[in-house]
Amino acid sequence: MSSQPAAAREAPNHFIRQIVVEDRAAGRHGGRVATRFPPEPNGYLHVGHAKSICLNFGMAAEFGGVCHLRFDDTNPVKEDLEYVRSIQEDVRWLGFEWDVLLHASDYFETFYLCAEKLVRQGAAFVCDLSAEQVREYRGTLTEPGRDSPWRERPVAESLELLRRMRAGEFADGARTLRAKIDMASGNINLRDPAIYRIRKVGHQMTGDAWCIYPMYDYAHCISDAVEGITHSLCTLEFEDHRPLYDWFLRQLDLPGDPGLTAPLRARGLSMPVSTPQQIEFSRLNLDYTVMSKRKLMALVADGLVDGWDDPRMPTLSAMRRRGFPAAAIRTFCERLGVTKQNSVIEFGVLEGCVREELDAHAPRRMAVLEPLRLVITNLPAGHEETLRFANHPKDESLGTRAVPFSPQLWIEREDFAEVPPKGFHRLVPGGEVRLRGVGIVRCVELVKDADGHARELHCTLDPDTRHGMPGADRKVKGTIHWVSAPHAREAEVRLYERLFLVPDPDDESGGKAYRDHINPGSRRVVRAWIEPALALALPEQGFQFERMGYFVADRYEHSDARPVYNRTATLRDTWARRA
Ligand code: ATP
Ligand code: MG
């Protein structure tokens, strides 16, 4: 018998989970598991972040640990409170709740104390080279760098200059604090990397208190340690930064030097201090998608989409607005697994998870997106009935609803063909079709408009094929959906397709940039007719429009007075067929 809890046995296994299991078995970190999700508040979260969120929160949940949400707000120039708000909303929407909310800026005083410690230990120095000179001295992948002329300046001088940097005595870029590691290292990250730079800008959390800001590699490992993080999970591009991560922690010995974290305790932030382990996994890449925040930001800024939550964007708020259930995104991340192999996942895989979730749980409704009028001529013009429809073919718990029926109907224009192509099983002149939930109609007359287009179909309903009648089971090839014209509500329906026409919009060979590959037909708006129950839906409720796809009531613009639906996904993967 396994002693693991049930949740652990069912959880998908992967190499990071294996490391955590072994660390716990070996009693490392006292058996504790603490992870963090550390977004920089410089944009909205995208589906790539979801992979990291599911992994970090998932590991903590499985092993009874904690997961922190930490805003990595060390670069005030690009950061904004709008992003801080949206990130929290999106993490919660995805189904996770953090144990503590923290900001890297909570540790600014600790970062600074650590810097003075490094200087005193001779492990860091103030450098007067300009940014351009630093680049020159750095060397290349094949050539070693050269030592800064300021590298051997006395400790006391560096310490004094660091204090004066903090006090705001020097201009932006005039000096930096650098680690003293090895300018000949084969790993460029170890060639005396910057620790602090001067930036005289206000910060959304700390205001004007600071004019020097720490670099990511320096701030990240210290943040992890002072929060007691045990496993610091990040994406593969940080693999080459791991030696630096470990170097800083070795130099600083945060667990052994409580003075460094005293400013945190003074503010009521007393957390166990750890020696965290950085572990890298491959990032999520999706085809037909760009995922860099810089590019997403440009799409928004240049008006190529209607904001960060435009349903064509790969952001979580866009997917939410598009009607992707959070559960489907979690399933997707689980199926991807966690590895060190970089790969590009087909967007269709994510859509497949969305369809699976919606097929199982979304109530069914009828809506006509491109209408053609159908009149039943053998019922009195004023005839009205209320039919009962099951909301889901397999899940009775979703109940039933009233669907009004009358002899004036809207059907989908493409469900009629005057000259049917081969294999067409829907309505043709003189032919029969089943009206979903009603019975069999025969098209007895096609009325055309001046241009020769079908304007109206006159049909007769075979009364013997109605519910409960002896002929109710009579077979015809096709069944089509409809809505009753006098009862139907008009709706705005937005049909979304992929934002990009090519699988790899990031590929800039051939002189094109991602913005040259935007799909001009990625958003089409139609006036549709929907059954009355769809007008009453609440924003964000998702449905299957029978035979048409999955749709969601728009989060912001849908109302009973003015229904607005977004297409979440077609019923099947139409892109796979095109390829
Ligand atoms: P960008 O480089 O576009 O600004 P980022 O990756 O730097 O994005 P962060 O806010 O720093 O964005 O990311 C927070 C966390 O999410 C990091 O730990 C990062 O590794 C992880 N993450 C970001 N993108 C992906 C992705 N595509 N797949 C998996 N994890 C990701
Ligand atoms: Mg980042």
Q: Is the shortest distance between the CB of 75 and ligand 1 below 6 Å? A: no
For ligand 1, atom 26, name the residue with the nearest CA. 48
Question: Which pLDDT score, from 0 to 100, does residue 576 have?
Answer: 59
Atom of ligand 1 nearest to the CA of 295: 3
pLDDT over 70, % of the chain: 97
Question: Which pLDDT score, from 0 to 100, does residue 508 have?
Answer: 87
Q: Please return the burial class of 129, using the count of CB atoms within 10 Å of its CB with bins 0-12, 13-18 and 19+.
A: middle
Question: Residue 575: pLDDT band by 50, 70, 90 thresholds?
Answer: low
Residue carrying the six token digits 């046995």:
9
Q: Which residues are within 8 A (CB) of 324 and not within 5 positions of it... i.e. 6 or more apart?
A: 350, 354, 568
- How close is the Cα of 292 to the center of ligand 2, in Å? 10
Q: Which residues are within 8 A (CB) of 266 and not within 5 positions of it... i.e. 6 or more apart?
A: none
For ligand 1, atom 16, name the residue with the nearest CA. 49
Q: Is the shortest distance between the CB of 91 and ligand 1 below 6 Å? A: no
Each residue of 213-229: pLDDT tens digit? 999 999 999 999 999 99
Each residue of 551-560: pLDDT tens digit? 999 999 999 9
Q: Ligand 1 pocket: which of 46, 52, 281 to mutate (most atoms <8 Å of CB)?
A: 52
Ligand nearest to the CA of 45: 1
- How close is the Cα of 57 to the center of ligand 2, in Å? 18
For residue 452, the SS3 value is: coil
Say how far apart CA 574 and CA 427 lie, in whole Å.
23
Contact 522, 498 (CB under 8 A): yes
Question: Which pLDDT score, from 0 to 100, does residue 509 have?
Answer: 85
Q: Is the shortest distance between the CB of 293 and ligand 1 below 6 Å? A: yes
Q: Is the shortest distance between the CB of 49 and ligand 1 below 6 Å? A: yes
For ligand 1, atom 18, name the residue with the nearest CA. 234
Each residue of 42-62: pLDDT tens digit? 999 999 999 999 999 999 999
For ligand 1, atom 28, name the residue with the nearest CA. 283
Each residue of 428-485: pLDDT tens digit? 999 999 999 999 999 999 999 999 999 999 999 999 999 999 999 999 999 999 999 9
Average pLDDT, the chain: 95
For ligand 1, atom 29, name the residue with the nearest CA. 283
Each residue of 248-281: pLDDT tens digit? 999 999 999 999 999 999 999 999 999 999 999 9
- How close is the Cα of 393 to the center of ligand 2, in Å? 46
Ligand nearest to the CA of 343: 1
Ligand nearest to the CA of 38: 1
Count CB-CB contacts under 10 A for residue 220: 26
Q: Is the shortest distance between the CB of 214 and ligand 1 below 6 Å? A: no
Say how far apart CA 165 and CA 96 lie, in whole Å.
40
Q: Is the shortest distance between the CB of 314 and ligand 1 below 6 Å? A: no
- How close is the Cα of 235 to the center of ligand 2, in Å? 10
Query: Contacts from 27-32 at CB under 8 Å and sequence distance 24+?
Result: 28/230, 29/230, 29/274, 32/65, 32/228, 32/230, 32/272
Atom of ligand 1 nearest to the CA of 292: 3
Q: Is the shortest distance between the CB of 234 and ligand 1 below 6 Å? A: yes
Q: Is the shortest distance between the CB of 363 and ligand 1 below 6 Å? A: no
Instruction: Report which of 132, 68, 133, 128 is spatially closest to residue 96, judged by C-alpha positions.
Output: 68
User: Catalytic residues, which ones?
Assistant: 40, 283, 293
Tokens representing residue 456 in the block: 């109206």
Q: Please return the burial class of 336, using the count of CB atoms within 10 Å of its CB with bins 0-12, 13-18 and 19+.
A: buried
- How close is the Cα of 21 to the center of ligand 2, in Å? 28
- How close is the Cα of 369 to the center of ligand 2, in Å? 43
Question: Which pLDDT score, from 0 to 100, does residue 177 have?
Answer: 98
**How many residues are given for the chain?**
579
Q: Is the shortest distance between the CB of 241 and ligand 1 below 6 Å? A: no
pTM of the model: 0.94
Question: Residue 10: pLDDT band by 50, 70, 90 thresholds?
Answer: low
Q: Is the shortest distance between the CB of 284 and ligand 1 below 6 Å? A: yes
Say how far apart CA 101 and CA 119 lie, in whole Å.
31
Count CB-CB contacts under 10 A for residue 449: 9
- How close is the Cα of 341 to the center of ligand 2, in Å? 20
Say how far apart CA 354 and CA 333 lie, in whole Å.
12
